[in-house]
Amino acid sequence: MTRIALCQIPVSPDPSANLKRATEALARAEGAELAIFPEATLTRYGRRITDLAEPLDGPFVSGLAEAARRHGLAVIAGVFEPGEGRVHNTAVAIDAEGAVRAAYRKIHLFDSFGAKESDLVARGAQPVVVELAGVRVGLITCYDIRFPELARALVDQGAELFAVIAAWGSGPLKEDHWVTLVRARALENTMWTAAVGQAPNPAESSDGFGVGRSMLVDPLGVVRADLGTGPGVRIVEVDHEWTATARATLPCLDHRVL
């Protein structure tokens, strides 16, 4: 068993306020081995991200790392790293000793539904699997969930769990898309999938980011936990023996031809 805290928090434009929220959530996550936060936990999306982006040794990640060490659990969270003209939308992975173990730069940028993330964000290039809390975790960020080839590449790199972080945009049918896609990536790869989105922030609701609906989905696509729309921290359990049982029942990874 691996105990995971789904940390569905609202995000503001102010990194210091978001760090405070995140550290408070980690205090509530004690007893878990891994805490997962949303995409863009550093600061809310907007043109400000180019000014507020921080290196991975900056105050935001350093603060998260210290809290991870203090509470003895690993952390995954979304930040923005400075780049040349544009930033990187990065999922940072921190171990329980407070060391940065990996950084995944989002590959698929959200140039859809009238948005153009690529105006501000430079595309990443490499899928990333990182070992945290004794589990090989494949990192997926928001719009990436629409691309099954990324999830399959993570399987081929030995992932045992998908961690999906998001600042999902609201709109007609968008919440249905989120739930369907998360369940599909879990089912088609017979993979436990922990997906964490931003909670809605009423003070910043005009931009539409954050629908909540953080979930734990099992390897047969069954939703084991759903946080709904409000802020919250929920500790869930991933049963790795159930993965073996599911794959014996549905050996689709063994049946691949292409």
Low-confidence ranges of the chain (pLDDT < 50): none
pTM: 0.97
Sign of CA dihedral 36, 136, 129, 223: negative
What pLDDT, on a 0 to 100 scale, did the predictor assign at position 38?
98
What pLDDT, on a 0 to 100 scale, did the predictor assign at position 202?
85
Q: Minimal CA–CA distance to 212: which of 238, 230, 186, 237?
A: 230
Query: Tokens 């049963």 belong to which residue?
Result: 239
* Amino acid letter, residue 140: I
For the question of residue 7 being annotated catalytic, the response is no
Biggest CA–CA distance in the chain, Å, is 50
Active-site option among 33, 39, 54, 160? 39
Active-site option among 106, 117, 160, 204? 106
